[in-house]
Amino acid sequence: MRRRSLFAAGAAATVAGAAAVSTLPAWARTDGDSEAGAAQAWESEEQWGLWEDGDYTLYNNLWGEGWNYQRIWANSHADWGVRADHPNTGGIKSYPNVSYTLGRNVWEMGDVQSSFRLSLPGAADGLAYNTAYDIWGNGHDHEIMLWMNWSGPVGPIGGQVTTVSVGGHTWDYHQGSNGANEVYSFLIHEHTSAATVDIAPIAQWLVEQGHMPEVRIDQIQLGWEITSAAGGFDFTVDDYSLSV
């Protein structure tokens, strides 16, 4: 999906509002407070709020039209989440994510593998989102999306091309363009909130099949494309790893 570059946003956004430390444990919160991220080391409600944890960047990324409210919090790149409340008006409002920049040619990626464990809201009226890896090639010219689960009226860009088993999972593969870049979307057959994905073979399969040129793989992101979350919902990364 088309969205503001992490690096452009970092240059334009103030990281103020990005460093607030909560002193209240979950049990001390009032009924109106979310327990998600109660002991966070960082939080932000800023549109482009970001925080660096070593080689990783956490990014609030409210990039779509019509967004209402979103608070991102984090203790580390492996322990973070968001509280989102966006109207049920269609169109992606945000992509809060954790990002790592690889900067290697697709054939020189090595054994790039990622694992995650998430806590997600159940299906509900006014809720539409997908959990996805967003992997960028040659800056933001090529976009590989790995849909791990989704809820509500959401779908990929472009029609289905084939079904493929690669990277440890079976996917429906879609391809299209959002007007700014090519989008290669893999929709997992069995929705999951905890999995391990071999990313390198997926990118290399795209090149082998002639779908994508031989690009440099840059940002590897994991997060949620949130279309609507009317009334407020919590999305949490309980564990995350990326081996490169």
Using the predicted structure, report yes or no on whether residue 3 has a pLDDT greater than 70.
no
Residue with the two structure tokens 């929705």: 191
pLDDT of residue 38: 59
Per-residue pLDDT band at 22 (split at 50, 70, 90): very low
pLDDT of residue 95: 98
By 3-state DSSP, what share of the chain in percent is helix, strand and coil, each rounded to 5?
10, 50, 40
* Residue that wins the pLDDT comparison between 21 and 205: 205
Per-residue pLDDT band at 90 (split at 50, 70, 90): very high
Q: What percentage of the chain has pLDDT greater than the value 90?
A: 84
* Residue that wins the pLDDT comparison between 79 and 9: 79
Using the predicted structure, report yes or no on whether residue 91 has a pLDDT greater than 70.
yes
Query: What distance separates the 2 farthest-apart alpha carbons in the chain?
Result: 56
Mean pLDDT, range 98-122, rounded to an integer:
98
pLDDT of residue 17: 37
pLDDT digits (tens, 9 = 90+) for 189-209: 999 999 999 999 999 999 999
Q: Which domains does the chain have, with CATH numbers?
A: 6-243 (2.60.120.180)
* Residue that wins the pLDDT comparison between 99 and 27: 99
pTM as predicted:
0.87
Work out the mean pLDDT of the chain and round it to a whole number.
Answer: 89
Using the predicted structure, report yes or no on whether residue 20 has a pLDDT greater than 60.
no
The strand order across the sheet containing 113-119 reads: 42-44, 69-76, 79-85, 233-243, 113-119, 194-198
pLDDT of residue 64: 98
Using the predicted structure, report yes or no on whether residue 4 has a pLDDT greater than 90.
no
pLDDT of residue 73: 98
Using the predicted structure, report yes or no on whether residue 85 has a pLDDT greater than 90.
yes
DSSP 16-57: TTS-------GGGS-TTS--TTTT-SEEE-STT-EEEETTEE
Using the predicted structure, report yes or no on whether residue 24 has a pLDDT greater than 90.
no
Using the predicted structure, report yes or no on whether residue 33 has a pLDDT greater than 50.
no
Helix (H, G, I), strand (E, B) or coil at 194: strand
pLDDT of residue 30: 34
Whether residue 115 contacts residue 239, with contact meaning beta carbons closer than 8 Å, is answered with: yes
